[in-house]
């Protein structure tokens, strides 16, 4: 693992043209340049790698570099903004980081778990349950388009494209309203690659991975094409990934995750992006992007539940596993994501820069079959060999949106004074069904939002000040529906709920000495509370019946849990950049008066949404040390602790929410994490990186007594930590391309994923054992 370019508001210009120039650069030369530029960040060096053999013969140890003023990001700003002018913590994950992680695993979120301090461990599955950012849910974007729906977050929105088409990842750490609804934990924006060199360029990537079991082999073939000529540019990509079964370190098949597994699946991806610059000096640009990703399970295995230790019922604990078979009549689980994005920009409109993008996205997710109590209905004939109903839930969502922005520098002819303003509109629809029996589980929902915003910043000497507001005005419409038999077939009257919130942010940066800077910031985020869960969980006050005739009528407007989630974040940080070292520290305090956390429903053992006050505090460290031209040491550390209440406020007003006495466990807040990596560049075209990721053991406990009825509550959680090592090696030949070897879980450590150590429905998953991968990349 290698620490990403970490920018925490220093006067820091980390050079990452490899990130901006995307994956087509010569990787070995780019590695040299990227590491050199990190070592000389104060000089703002970055790569413009010359891949010609003539250049290499001149000086094979040197990568030609160009001077860059600053590193810029577009996430949260809509137009390029220097990161050292934005108060807050931003992580930019470069193509080098993506490539090194993908030499070891195809997990789309593994690169975040290894490079972003506050990002939780990877679930190693199609589901991203428990994968929080600083203990809260992050808004995931692909080229600015939201992946997934705030109406029904199915925790499957982290697998939506082939990572081979991603140029870089911009991560805004902490609550933010800058990109819309759902960023209570921050924003993760995956940006597609963009051509930067004239002419045609092809890249063919093939990979084979195995755990040396008969059904563990997997392979990938991906072909990318880039073209740039004068004012035209085009990118196309196609790939297919066939994954075999996974095994733990003891050689036991991994269980098929109940929310979806990437094991025993095939993923196909198509991507097209074309752009045209026009107008005087090419200041105008029109760009269109289409992406279609589908991951579909093969259905060759069924889940075999394990058991946790119990002296009587399970003296020999064992995690979930899988065996060959297929449940008759069930369908393959899948993620099927499509999107179209049309963008226009004008660098000279009324003296400023204007940008607009209109998008459409259609996203569908089907889950594995289950025979839980909430799937049963006496009026439906059982379809399983066990005499029970097996059913599969399916979430469908589609959205259209328009985002606009206008930036004016030197406003009123005042040097350093900048205005950013615009308005966003989005319409998001979602529902959830039980697909095999054609039952409605979550009714059709529609959320429409109009959100104007204004942001100003002022650079004056050693200081940068910024602040702004965003107004979220939304309407949620829910149709009339009837709950399932398990919930009593209760009739629910739909209706319209209005959401309105003015979200503020303010911050400042002080560059107080050579190489030193500090920042302080306050920001707010806005989200919906995974609306589908409280809607589908409406039930009769007593045992299941036929419409709950004795229960009072219920309407959507009566649901206390549908109130929005508003999070505010207070943060400060310190940065230092020396000639060969870099250090960054940030401290944050995130609060929500009516937040969300996960709890276990004792009736179904499934996750339920819990609404109560939350407070999450933590701090993060990152550091890089260039020991020499050939050796580099990187590290990161994250410490997070969260608390919520044992009970929420009574809707009838009899009592308020409890104090912040219940610790938030592994389902919400990740244990402390330490990441280290040591890179050795043994030759101009070869390097080896040894990395480690450690999650520390943690003991949590809390208790409280409610004065209203003397009810007592207690929560205890223990999770065991573990350390995983990984290894990647790359060597580029002038004629035959680049060869890479990756080894995940180098020491073949047997471990249980932290979030899986907490009891829950079929929630006992071992982590993946040693995995070998061989990758070949040819660019011409």
- pLDDT by residue (tens digit) across 529-551? 888 888 988 888 765 556 677 77
DSSP-assigned beta bridge partners for residue 141: 146, 189
CB contact at 8 A, 571 and 587: yes
> Can you tell me the distance from the alpha carbon of 726 to that of 693, in angstroms, rounded to the nearest whole number?
9
pLDDT average, residue stretch 574-590: 92
For residue 291, pLDDT over 60 is answered with yes
Helix count and strand count (H, E) for the chain:
6, 40
More confident residue, 38 or 419: 419
Q: Which residues is 89 bridged to in the sheet?
A: 173
Q: Which residue has the tokens 């839980």?
A: 372
Q: Determine the pLDDT at residue 541.
A: 74
pLDDT of residue 716: 95
pLDDT of residue 294: 97
Answer yes or no: is pLDDT of 32 > 70.
Answer: no
What's the rounded mean pLDDT across residues 702-724? 95
Mean residue pLDDT across the chain: 86
User: Strand, helix or coil at 317?
Assistant: coil
- What's the rounded Cα separation, in Å, for the pair 151 and 432? 10
Please check the confidence at residue 649 and state whether its pLDDT lies above 80: yes
Q: How far, in Å, CA of 284 to CA of 299, rounded?
A: 49
Q: What pLDDT band is residue 753 in, cutting at 50, 70 and 90?
A: very high
Q: What is the pLDDT of residue 178?
A: 83
3-state DSSP call for residue 361? strand
Rounded percentage of the chain residues whose pLDDT exceeds 90: 65
Identify the weakest region by mean pLDDT among 35-44, 506-515, 618-627.
Answer: 35-44
| Nearest one of 288, 441, 449 to 375, comparing CA atoms | 441
Which pLDDT tens digit goes with each residue over 446-489? 999 999 999 999 999 999 999 999 999 999 999 999 999 988 88
| CATH code, 5-779 | 2.40.170.20
The residue written with tokens 């996203």 in the block is 363
Q: Is residue 443 within 8 Å of 535, Cβ to Cβ?
A: yes
pLDDT tens for each residue of 222-271: 999 999 999 999 999 999 999 999 999 999 999 988 888 999 999 999 99
Mean pLDDT score, 151-177: 90
pLDDT score recorded for residue 177: 82
Q: Specify whether the CB–CB gap between 407 and 78 falls below 8 A.
A: yes
Please tell me which residue, 670 or 47, carries the higher pLDDT value: 670
Residue 429: CB atoms within 10 Å: 17
Q: Do the beta carbons of residue 581 and residue 572 sit within 8 Å?
A: no
Q: Which pLDDT belongs to residue 5?
A: 43
Ranking 69-78, 139-148, 186-195, 661-670 by mean pLDDT, the lowest is: 69-78
* Contact between 206 and 195 (Cβ < 8 Å): no
Higher local confidence (pLDDT), 67 or 472: 472
- Residue 462: helix, strand or coil by DSSP? coil
> d(Cα 161, Cα 294) in Å, to the nearest integer?
8
Task: Report the DSSP pairing between strands 673-683 and 686-695.
Answer: antiparallel
Residues 735-750 have a mean pLDDT of 96
Using pLDDT thresholds of 50, 70 and 90, give the confidence band for residue 129.
Answer: confident
Copy the structure tokens of residue 266.
């095939």
d(CA 490, CA 486): 10
**Whether pLDDT at 185 is above 60:** yes
For residues 169-181, give the mean pLDDT: 87
Sign of CA dihedral 297, 303, 309, 315: negative
Which are the contacts of 558, defined by CB distance < 8 A and separation ≥ 6?
none
The arithmetic mean of pLDDT across residues 54-76, rounded, is 43
Q: Closest Cα to residue 706, out of 643, 662, 642?
A: 662
Tell whether the model's pLDDT for residue 80 goes beyond 80. no
The confidence score (pLDDT) of residue 79 equals 67
Between 105 and 44, the higher pLDDT residue? 105
pLDDT value at 635 more than 50: yes
What's the full length of the chain, in residues? 780
Write out the DSSP string of 519-555.
EEEEEEEEE---THHHHHT---SSS--SS-TTSPPEE
With bands split at pLDDT 50, 70 and 90, how would you rate the model's confidence at 11?
very low
> 10 Å Cβ neighbour count for 121?
24
Residue-wise pLDDT for 318-332, tens only, equals 999 999 998 888 899
Q: Return the top range by mean pLDDT from 86-90, 123-127, 149-153, 644-648.
A: 644-648
Tens of pLDDT, residues 338-397: 999 999 999 999 999 999 999 999 999 999 998 888 899 999 999 888 899 999 999 999
Closest CA to 436 of 385, 503, 532, 367: 367
- Residue 119 is classified by DSSP as B
Answer left, alpha or beta for residue 561, where phi above 0 means left and psi between -120 and 50 means alpha. alpha
Q: How far is residue 567's CA from residue 595's CA, in Å, rounded to a whole number?
A: 8
> Is residue 62 predicted with pLDDT exceeding 80?
no
Provide the percentage of residues in the chain whose pLDDT is more than 70.
Answer: 88
- CA 595/CA 136 separation, integer angstroms: 10
When pLDDT is cut at 50, 70 and 90, the band that residue 401 belongs to is very high
Instruction: Give the 3-state secondary structure of residue 50.
Output: coil
pTM of the model: 0.88
Which letter does DSSP use for residue 672 in this model? P
């Amino acid at each position: 693992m290698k620490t990403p370019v970490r920018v925490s508001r220093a006067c820091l210009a980390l050079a990452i043209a490899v990130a901006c120039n995307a994956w087509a650069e010569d990787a070995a030369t780019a590695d040299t340049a990227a590491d050199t530029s990190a070592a000389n960040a104060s000089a703002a060096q970055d790569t413009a790698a010359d891949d010609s053999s003539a250049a290499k013969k001149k000086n094979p140890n040197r990568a030609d570099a160009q001077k860059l003023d600053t590193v810029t990001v577009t996430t949260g700003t809509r137009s390029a903004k220097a990161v050292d002018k934005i108060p807050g913590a931003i992580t930019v994950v470069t193509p080098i980081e993506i490539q090194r992680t993908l030499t070891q695993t195809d997990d789309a979120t593994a690169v975040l778990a290894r490079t972003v301090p506050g990002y939780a461990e990877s679930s190693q599955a199609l589901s991203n349950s428990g994968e929080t950012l600083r203990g809260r849910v992050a808004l995931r974007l692909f080229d600015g388009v939201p992946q997934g729906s705030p109406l029904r977050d199915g925790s499957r929105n982290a697998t939506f494209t082939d990572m081979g088409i991603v140029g870089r990842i911009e991560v805004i750490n902490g609550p933010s309203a800058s990109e819309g609804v759902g960023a209570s934990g921050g924003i993760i924006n995956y940006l597609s690659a963009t051509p930067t060199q004239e002419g045609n360029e092809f890249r063919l990537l093939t990979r084979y991975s195995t755990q040396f079991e008969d059904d563990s082999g997997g392979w990938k073939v991906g072909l990318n094409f880039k073209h740039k000529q004068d004012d035209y540019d085009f990118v196309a990509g196609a790939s297919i990934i066939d994954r075999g079964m996974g095994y733990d370190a003891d050689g036991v098949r991994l269980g098929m995750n109940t929310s979806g597994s990437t094991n025993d699946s095939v993923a196909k991806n198509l991507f097209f992006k074309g752009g045209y610059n026009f107008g005087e000096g090419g200041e105008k640009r029109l760009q269109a992007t289409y992406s279609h990703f589908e991951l579909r399970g093969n259905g060759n295995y069924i889940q075999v539940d394990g058991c946790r230790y119990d002296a009587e019922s399970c003296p020999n604990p064992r995690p979930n596993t899988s065996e060959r078979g297929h449940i008759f009549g069930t369908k393959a689980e899948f993620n099927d994501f499509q999107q179209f994005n049309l963008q226009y920009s004008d660098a000279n409109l009324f003296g400023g820069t204007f940008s607009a993008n209109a998008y459409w996205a259609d996203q569908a997710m089907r889950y594995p079959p289950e025979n839980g109590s909430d799937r049963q209905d006496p009026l439906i004939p059982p379809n399983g060999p066990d005499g029970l109903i097996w059913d599969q839930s399916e979430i469908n969502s589609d959205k259209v949106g328009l985002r606009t922005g206008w930036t004016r520098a030197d406003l009123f002819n005042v040097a350093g004074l900048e205005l950013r303003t615009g308005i966003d509109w989005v319409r998001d629809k979602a529902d959830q069904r039980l697909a095999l029996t054609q039952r409605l589980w979550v009714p059709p929902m529609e959320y429409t939002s109009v959100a104007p915003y204004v942001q100003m910043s002022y650079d004056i000497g050693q200081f940068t000040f910024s602040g702004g507001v965003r107004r979220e005005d939304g309407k949620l419409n829910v149709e009339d529906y009837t709950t399932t038999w398990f919930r009593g077939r209760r009739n629910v009257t739909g209706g319209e709920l209005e959401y309105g919130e003015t979200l503020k942010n303010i911050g400042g940066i002080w560059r107080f000495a050579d190489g030193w800077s500090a920042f302080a910031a306050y920001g707010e985020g806005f989200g919906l509370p995974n609306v589908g869960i409280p809607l589908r969980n409406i039930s009769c006050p007593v045992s299941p019946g036929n419409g709950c005739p004795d229960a009072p009528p219920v309407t959507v407007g009566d649901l206390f849990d549908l109130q929005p989630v508003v999070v505010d974040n207070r943060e400060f940080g310190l940065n230092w950049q020396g000639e060969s070292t870099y250090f960054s520290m940030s401290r944050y305090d995130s609060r929500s008066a009516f937040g969300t956390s996960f709890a276990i429903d004792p009736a179904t053992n499934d996750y339920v949404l819990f609404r109560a006050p939350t407070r999450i505090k933590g701090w993060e460290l990152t550091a890089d040390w260039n020991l020499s031209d050939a050796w580099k040491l990187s590290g990161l550390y994250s410490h997070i602790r969260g608390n919520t209440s044992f009970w929420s406020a009574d809707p009838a007003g009899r009592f308020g929410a409890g104090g912040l006495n219940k610790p938030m466990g592994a389902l919400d807040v990740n244990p402390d994490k330490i990441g280290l990596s040591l890179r050795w560049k043994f030759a101009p075209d070869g390097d080896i990186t040894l990395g480690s990721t450690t999650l520390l053991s943690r003991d949590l406990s809390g208790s409280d007594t409610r004065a209203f009825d003397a009810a007592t509550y207690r929560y205890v959680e223990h999770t065991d930590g573990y350390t995983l090592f990984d290894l990647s090696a790359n060597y580029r030949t002038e004629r035959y391309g680049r060869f890479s070897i990756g080894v995940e879980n180098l020491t073949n450590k047997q471990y249980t994923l932290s979030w899986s150590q907490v009891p829950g429905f079929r929630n006992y998953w071992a982590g993946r054992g040693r995995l070998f991968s061989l990758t070949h990349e040819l660019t011409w």
